[in-house]
């Protein structure tokens, strides 16, 4: 076999790509595998903001979103252990089957050092009370069991996985970006690659089997590849919203019972789906940088380091089909507008100021009970940038959530923006995750079928077992 010919090429070393390779090793796969990663190894990933306190816009990519384990390495590290959370994979493969793979994958995480404690499985009477309040507010509570890795512990776990793959014959090419597919008569034949730092063309890698697991960061690239090569896909949803931050005392009744409360509503007047996502008790609001100089807000939660605040996302789902069907582009333009008002930084505004029709000023933040954990966020006016429909959905959802968690709609509650989830294109795949191109498979968040660590990881395990068949 030639040096640049492989039995399998995996694009992206996020959870889906990692667990595809891991499961192949577990099942004794003897083929030659290469794992391509745009960023660096996890032990070399570091955000300078730890020392600078402000984002320095690392080039050529953000270390929080790019590198071995993808955005998962620097996330809050929560594994959702049920099929109600994490995307649409259960619709493709069946909820019972997917649940069995979640349980199987969870054991792998435990093997590599995950905390054995599961959040949200006790205090049944208190959970019932939270659900009763949610129902009275026309919200649905999804009380999914959570295994919390923690941001710093997640990095330790993925480092062990990285070392395991490399020690057992998986070739990992860092600072390597897949530029294009080589397709002949409807069959995948390989990929062209380049150095992600210098942009220099490297070589062509050949294989009749390619797995794309490019993550949320690579969803736009995959969308463009699908358009260029006629790979079947359909427009999905785009989630646009804010990261909300309140004092821990406000969320105490939920944090102590569920750790993460996943609430869904369809507020008037538009009836769009609005949901909470990624709740971080004692957590920290963070910034992620994407291509085209887009700054996105997120949240982290450590095992050992805690703040006085809880943060969570509130996301409004939007679907576009005709005549416009590029939701990722819409999301990027929205983000760029918010970033413009923040002069390139994340915007923060108090809930009460929004209701009063005014912007927030820095001196007003300084005298509030809620001290921002994102120190370089810029006080301003989100309503001048976020779409009216999105903002209306979020404000009405917050008012409803206040009935479940009294004090949530305090005038001092902080809203950071933009928080946007780029997983809009839904690639058409069969039960083996194969696309309309023979031999080309799509996994994880970039495929549009998963949203989050566990579901992407489980999909990778399923892919590994499919290859072995």
Q: Are residues 343 and 464 in the same domain?
A: no
Measure CA of the first residue to CA of the last residue in the chain; give whole Å: 23
Residue 455 lies in a domain: yes
Is the full-model pTM beyond 0.85? yes
- Does residue 226 share a domain with residue 241? no
Residues 437 and 321 in one domain: no
The answer to whether 371 and 308 are in contact (CB under 8 A) is yes
Shared domain for 204 and 329, answered yes or no, is no
d(CA 441, CA 210): 6
Q: Is residue 355 part of a domain?
A: yes
Residues 38 and 156 in one domain: yes
The reply to whether 316 and 217 lie within a common domain is no
User: Beta strand pairing status for 233-235 and 347-350?
Assistant: unpaired
Sign, CA dihedral 314-242-235-461, equals: negative
Buried b (16+ CB within 10 A) or exposed e, 415-426: bbbbbbbbbbbb
Residues 367 and 447 in one domain: no
Q: Would the CA dihedral through 252, 257, 263, 268 be positive or negative? A: negative
Do 139 and 269 share a domain, yes or no? yes
Q: Where are the extended beta strands (E) located within 82-224? A: 139-142, 146-148, 171-173, 176-184, 187-195, 201-206, 210-212
Same domain, 205 and 282: no
**Which helix (H) or strand (E) is 388 found in, with range?**
helix 388-404
Of 236, 177, 237, give the one whose Cα is nearest residue 212. Answer: 177
Comparing CA positions, the residue from 416, 406, 407, 403 lying closest to residue 372 is 416
Q: Are residues 345 and 198 in the same domain?
A: no
What domain range includes position 464? 8-114+150-232+427-468
Does a structural domain hold residue 2?
A: no
> One digit per residue, pLDDT tens: the chain, 469 residues?
567 999 999 999 999 999 999 999 999 999 999 999 999 999 888 777 667 767 777 777 777 778 888 876 676 788 999 999 899 999 999 999 999 999 999 999 999 999 999 987 776 889 999 999 999 999 999 988 989 887 778 889 999 999 999 999 999 999 999 999 999 999 999 999 999 988 887 799 999 999 999 998 888 899 899 999 999 998 778 899 999 999 999 999 899 888 888 999 999 999 999 999 999 999 999 999 888 889 999 998 888 889 999 999 999 999 887 788 778 889 999 999 999 999 999 999 999 999 999 999 999 999 999 999 999 999 999 999 999 999 999 999 999 999 999 999 999 999 999 999 876 578 999 999 999 999 999 999 999 999 889 999 999 999 999 999 8
Whether residue 140 is found in the same domain as residue 154: no
- Report d(CA 181, CA 407) in Å as an integer: 52
What is the domain count for the chain? Answer: 2
Distances, alpha carbon 16 to alpha carbons 4, 66, 213, 444, 447, in Å: 23, 14, 6, 5, 11
């Amino acid at each position: 076999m030639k040096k640049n010919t492989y039995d399998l090429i995996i694009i992206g070393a996020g959870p889906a790509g990692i667990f595809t390779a891991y499961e192949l090793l577990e099942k004794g796969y003897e083929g030659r595998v290469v794992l391509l990663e745009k960023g660096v190894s996890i032990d070399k990933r570091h955000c300078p903001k730890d020392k600078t306190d402000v984002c320095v816009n690392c080039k050529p990519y953000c270390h929080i979103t790019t590198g071995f384990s993808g955005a998962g390495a620097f996330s809050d590290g929560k594994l959702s252990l049920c099929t109600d959370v994490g995307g649409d994979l259960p619709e493709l493969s069946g909820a019972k089957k997917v649940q069995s793979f979640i349980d199987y994958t969870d054991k792998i995480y435990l093997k590599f050092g995950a905390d054995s404690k599961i959040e949200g499985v006790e205090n049944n009477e208190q959970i019932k009370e939270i659900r009763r309040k949610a129902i009275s507010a026309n919200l649905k509570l999804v009380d999914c069991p959570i295994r919390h890795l923690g941001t710093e512990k997640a990095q330790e776990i993925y480092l062990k996985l990285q070392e395991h793959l490399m020690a057992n014959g998986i070739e990992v090419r860092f600072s390597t970006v897949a530029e294009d597919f080589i397709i002949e008569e409807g069959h995948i034949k390989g990929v062209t690659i380049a150095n992600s730092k210098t942009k220099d063309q490297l070589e062509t890698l050949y294989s009749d089997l390619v797995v794309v697991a490019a993550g949320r960061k690579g969803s736009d690239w995959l969308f463009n590849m699908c358009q260029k090569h006629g790979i079947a896909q359909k427009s999905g949803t785009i989630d646009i919203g804010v990261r909300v931050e309140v004092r821990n005392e406000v969320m105490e009744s939920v944090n102590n019972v569920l750790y993460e409360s996943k609430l869904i509503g369809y507020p008037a007047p538009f009836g769009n789906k609005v949901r909470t996502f990624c709740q971080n008790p004692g957590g920290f609001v963070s910034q992620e940088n994407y291509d085209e100089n887009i700054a996105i807000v997120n949240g982290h939660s450590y095992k050992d380091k805690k703040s006085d605040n809880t943060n969570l996302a509130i996301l409004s789902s939007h679907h576009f089909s005709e005549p416009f069907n590029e939701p990722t582009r819409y999301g990027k333009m929205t983000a760029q507008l918010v970033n413009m008002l923040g002069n390139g930084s994340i915007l923060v505004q108090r809930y009460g100021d929004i209701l009063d029709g005014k912007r927030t000023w820095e001196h007003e933040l300084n005298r509030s009970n809620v001290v921002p954990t994102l120190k370089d966020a810029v006080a301003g006016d989100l309503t001048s940038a976020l779409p009216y429909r999105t903002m209306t959905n979020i404000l009405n959802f917050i008012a409803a959530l206040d009935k479940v968690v009294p004090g949530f709609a305090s005038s001092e509650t902080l809203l950071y923006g933009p928080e946007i989830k780029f997983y809009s294109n839904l690639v058409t795949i069969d039960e083996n995750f194969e696309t309309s191109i023979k031999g080309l498979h799509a996994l994880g968040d970039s495929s549009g079928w998963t949203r989050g660590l566990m579901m992407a990881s489980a999909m990778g395990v399923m892919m590994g077992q499919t290859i072995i068949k």
